[in-house]
Amino acid sequence: MLVAAAVCPCPPLLVPEVASGAAPELDAARDACADAVGVLAASRPDLLVVVGSAEHGGTFRQGAAGSFAGYGVDVSVRLGPGEPGGQQLPLSLTVGAWLLERAGWADVPVEGLAVAEQLEPGACVGTGEDLAARAARVALLVMGDGSACRTLKAPGYLDERAASFDEVASAALGAADTATLMGLDDRLAYELKVAGRAPWQVLAGAGSDAGLAGRLLYEDAPYGVGYFVGVWS
């Protein structure tokens, strides 16, 4: 059963070494992410699963490694303590592993789940239902950004539909509104470059019968990308 969830954005700029001189611009987001991970720890889960989107889906064992070398810094992380083996985490899970490492996460088993970016909503919901049944007390760290089309300088340029999409999504994340999350338009999300759509719908499936309350800790669109931090408990 799902007992807690944290929703965090997954830009590599969350890592101060990657952001370099621009690091202070995301201090509020980092602080909110730290608070959200604290809520997960306080829920005393039997299992934590880090969920994020990637080009291809897949599962990752505890100890799987990720790196920010592609962003010009020698920073590597592991998904919880353990032998790294041969698995390499995708970016969304690498950022999640960095958040956990920053928080000193060590006492609860952790796994990673990459959700294919274009996995259709029903399959995402079903995946979440399966995750919630994995243990008596399951927690999720859900990594994903909102639209990347909020301003002219955004990665996806300006799209007038982006702000309203993000408003609906952030409100649903803050209210633990699983029905609205399940109903997010996957085609529109793809057009708006929403990296969080599939992971959020996995969360909706996991939390559909959990009766959790939600709270939004952070909402902003630096660099023209929607970033949200929320907790369900």
| Residue 20, pLDDT above cutoff 90 | no
**pLDDT tens readout for residues 116-152:** 999 999 999 999 999 999 999 999 999 999 999 999 9
- Confidence (pTM): 0.96
Q: Can you give 147-182 as a three-state secondary structure string?
A: CCCCCCCCCCCCCCCHHHHHHHHHHHHHHCCHHHHH
**pLDDT tens readout for residues 171-220:** 999 999 999 999 999 999 999 999 999 999 999 999 999 999 999 999 99
Edge to edge, the sheet with strand 227-232 lists 58-60, 110-116, 47-54, 138-143, 2-8, 227-232, 214-220
